[in-house]
Structure 1
Amino acid sequence: MSSTEDTTAQSSIFKDCLARRVIAQPALSDTPDASSSSSSGSDLDEFISYLASEVWETLPSQLRALTHEHPVIDVDADALSLATIPGSFTDTLVSYGIAADPDSACDFLRSVLRDYVDEARAPPPAWSSTRTSECEICERDVPLTYHHLIPRSTHTKVLKRKWHPESLLNSVAWLCRPCHSAVHGIATNEELAREYYTIELLLTREDIQKWKKYASKQRWGVRRG
């Protein structure tokens, strides 16, 4: 993969991480397209694309080139500060109530970047080149990962408390990497195991519906495997 493709792939990951954080904010009801169930989602996509484009090129080069082959970057220890973040980015977050003030906007960006570092450094799944069916959330025909609907870390508790029969423990859903990350971002493993152990239950959540609407419009540009 060329350096240009690397940059495109990583900027796509960053944009998705930013989108998840924006969509999760209560103030989203005031942002473009958030309250319209009949809209195509293009306004929200444009809003997030604008935010991502404003800040992406200002980030340290080692962040923008990050892959699973690079060492961990400590975002909190990095030189990221209000002085390095475009005023247009912080002003927009404050204007839409996503952040209370410029300092909060900086904290918000750090949260996005922590998500980005985790995802950008995730090793490519060995099965990605063999899976071509649609993601069960965004319905895009893209490389998939498998999501344990009842996270393995909860199996002992699930059986002890009789939440589900043992036969359900190894249920999986096939999700693209951005949707997989979105699912794990909306609830703890215990909550996923107890309350959202099927795709149908996950799709009853408003935040997952908002994420699905956003993700389904994204052009797949991240090469894995």
Structure 2
Amino acid sequence: MPTKRVDTCPCCRRTARLTFHHLIPKKMHRRPYFRKHFSKQTLQQGVMICRQCHDGIHKLYNEMQLAKHFTSLDALKEDELLARHFRWVGKQQINVKQ
């Protein structure tokens, strides 16, 4: 898993400290369906995003919804609720030293 770094968040387009978001949440990795249909490599895939975008994703959707419908960065960005959240986050100030 990548370490935190300061870069441009692909969701809100701000320069911020980024965190790793599993595209298929770790909680789903032990379920038989996901172990059968996805390789270990696929289960470990994710994107580096800022904490505010990351928190918004998990507040709007539960792990099962994320695992079934949001398994790519494009899918996250195309969802209207998430896009609205990302636009709001993009307007917020950030302290990169946090």
Q: TM-score, normalised by structure 2?
A: 0.84
CA–CA separation in structure 1 for the residues paired with 2:61 and 2:22? 14
Which protein has the bigger strand share?
2
Is residue 2:24 matched to residue 1:150? yes
Look up the equivalent residue of 2:30 and give its one-letter code. T
- Aligned with 2:35 (options 156, 159, 168): 159
Deviation at 1:206, TM superposition (A): 0.7
Indicate the structure (1 or 2) with the bigger Cα radius of gyration.
1
Deviation at 1:222, TM superposition (A): 6.4
Is residue 2:92 matched to residue 1:218? yes
Residue by residue over 1:167-224, the C-alpha shift from the partner in whole angstroms, topping out at 9 and shown as x without a partner, is: 3110011111110100111111111111101111111211111111111111113642
Is residue 2:54 matched to residue 1:202? no
CA–CA separation in structure 2 for the residues paired with 1:133 and 1:178? 14
Is residue 2:60 matched to residue 1:186? yes
2:9–2:16: 8 Å Cα contact kept in structure 1? Answer: yes
3-state SS, counterpart of residue 133 of structure 1: strand
Structure with the larger RCO, 1 or 2 (CA within 8 Å, 6+ apart):
2
CA–CA separation in structure 2 for the residues paired with 1:159 and 1:195? 17
Identity of aligned residues (%): 28
CA–CA separation in structure 1 for the residues paired with 2:88 and 2:27? 30
CA–CA separation in structure 1 for the residues paired with 2:50 and 2:19? 6
Aligned twin of 2:48: 174
Which protein has the bigger helix share?
1
Aligned residues: 94
3-state SS, counterpart of residue 21 of structure 2: strand
2:23–2:71: 8 Å Cα contact kept in structure 1? Answer: yes
2:16–2:96: 8 Å Cα contact kept in structure 1? Answer: no
Q: Gapped runs of 5+ residues in structure 1?
A: 1-126
CA–CA separation in structure 1 for the residues paired with 2:40 and 2:19? 23
Q: TM-score, normalised by structure 1?
A: 0.39
> In angstroms, what is the RMSD of aligned CA positions?
1.6
2:9–2:48: 8 Å Cα contact kept in structure 1? Answer: yes
